[in-house]
């Protein structure tokens, strides 16, 4: 209680926060927009009698909260920033979906294993920070609803993959998924036309390759893929003309070699572009081996097949189903069987005529 009293003196706006037995006389006169209850070592939230509908910024960070009551969150109708980082939260209330004006949500430094699906209802959300948790997955359809999301930070979790709907977050500018267990990046990354920063470093032995779509991120300026198990970068990365910072240290890179990567970004882009052009030339040469036209022959038709009761009319080409292959037809042994000398000479073992 002494700590809470000191906290109230340092944060004068908490005098009107409406604790049970608090100052109701000033509640309507001084409608606070920010409610700061951070660093108060609270295990549970006290009963709040103030009108939470007036709060636009709620800071509950650096406490020991294990849960947040559904009823309190449901009353935060005008909250724009919700900060609950550095607590002991194991789950978020489903009523978080009621926060239609929420733009910034910080739940980092908790014990969350998942996020509620109702978070998709926070369609005004621009920043989602969920670092240093126990997350094993994100809601699959997260990207289908959060079209305004500009920053997604989920580093230091246990994510094996990002949701397939990530490619629908077309407003996304920064994606931080380092220090996870990512096996691959989702398909359709080329749709993230506004993405400027991508960090998928320190997924260690789990991340072995980057998709071709990484090279189609037209706005990408910073890319960090360090400390993974990537042996080759996609040729398409030679097209990343806006890329200004790149790190691939700690990978078993073979193509391009690390000395090329360390030399400069231009050297790396030139290497990948040359390899891409060489690949295109190789494909053209292979294609040149194929005949330009296929000639149809009508020499063999079903009429020529003896013993057939069915006769095919107006048929072109060789009907493979109507013929059997004659193995060894041109072999020397078969040809000697048809020689005139063999056909008209008497058999060796035949008895002599009397």
pLDDT in 10s for each residue of the chain, 354 residues: 444 444 444 443 444 444 444 444 444 434 559 999 999 999 999 988 888 999 999 999 999 999 999 999 999 999 999 999 999 999 999 999 999 999 999 999 999 999 999 999 999 999 999 999 999 999 999 999 999 999 999 999 999 999 999 999 999 999 999 999 999 999 999 999 999 999 999 999 999 999 999 999 999 999 999 999 999 999 999 999 999 999 999 999 999 999 999 999 999 999 999 999 987 766 666 555 555 544 444 444 444 444 444 444 444 444 444 444 445 444 555 555 555 555 555 555 545 443
The domain made up of 34-282 is a member of CATH 3.80.10.10: yes
Residues 6+ apart with CB under 8 A from 330: none
Quote the pLDDT of residue 50.
83
| Helices and strands per DSSP (H, E), number in the chain | 7, 10
What pTM did the predictor assign? 0.74
User: Quick one: pLDDT at residue 219?
Assistant: 98
**CA 257 to each of CA 63, 84, 221, 253: distance values in angstroms, whole numbers, following the listed order:** 48, 44, 22, 6
User: For the chain, what are the domain ranges?
Assistant: 34-282
Structure tokens at 192: 């993230």
pLDDT for res 323 = 43
Structure tokens given for 137: 């997955």
Which residues fall within 8 angstroms of residue 105, CB to CB, at 6 or more apart?
82, 96, 119, 122, 125, 127, 128, 129
pLDDT (0 to 100) of residue 343: 54
The span from the CA of 99 to the CA of 266, in Å, is 46
Bridge-partner residues for 106, per DSSP?
83, 129
CA distance 326 to 128: 72
CB 143 within 8 A of CB 189: no
């Amino acid at each position: 209680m002494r700590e809470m009293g000191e906290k109230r003196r340092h944060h004068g706006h908490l005098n009107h926060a409406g604790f049970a037995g608090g100052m109701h006389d000033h509640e309507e006169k001084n409608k606070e927009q920010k409610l700061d209850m951070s660093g108060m070592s609270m295990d549970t939230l006290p009963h709040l009698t103030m009108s939470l509908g007036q709060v636009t910024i709620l800071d509950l960070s650096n406490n020991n909260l294990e849960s947040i009551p559904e009823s309190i969150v449901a009353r935060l109708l005008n909250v724009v920033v919700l900060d609950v980082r550095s607590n002991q939260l194991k789950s978020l209330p489903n009523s978080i979906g009621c926060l239609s004006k929420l733009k910034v949500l910080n739940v980092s430094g908790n014990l969350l294993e998942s996020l509620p699906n109702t978070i998709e209802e926070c369609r005004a959300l621009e920043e989602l920070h969920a670092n240093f948790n126990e997350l094993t997955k994100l809601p699959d359809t997260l990207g289908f609803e959060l079209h305004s999301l500009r920053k997604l930070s989920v580093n230091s979790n246990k994510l094996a993959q990002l949701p397939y709907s990530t490619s629908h977050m077309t407003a996304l500018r920064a994606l931080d998924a380092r220090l996870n267990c990512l096996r691959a990046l989702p398909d359709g990354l080329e749709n993230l036309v506004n993405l400027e920063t991508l960090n998928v470093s320190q997924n260690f032995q789990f991340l072995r390759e980057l998709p071709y779509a990484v090279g189609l991120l037209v706005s990408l300026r910073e890319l960090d893929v360090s400390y993974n198990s990537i042996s080759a970068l996609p040729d398409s990365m030679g097209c990343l003309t806006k890329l200004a910072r790149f790190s691939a240290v700690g990978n078993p890179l073979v193509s391009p070699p690390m000395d090329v990567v360390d030399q400069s970004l231009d050297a790396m882009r030139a290497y990948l572009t040359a390899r891409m052009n060489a690949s295109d030339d190789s494909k053209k040469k292979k294609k040149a081996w194929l005949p330009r036209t296929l000639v149809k022959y009508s020499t063999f038709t079903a009429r020529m097949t003896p013993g057939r009761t069915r006769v095919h009319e107006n048929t072109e080409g060789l009907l493979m189903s109507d013929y059997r292959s004659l193995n060894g037809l041109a072999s020397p042994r078969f040809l000697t069987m048809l020689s005139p000398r063999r056909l008209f000479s008497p058999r060796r073992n035949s008895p002599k005529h009397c």
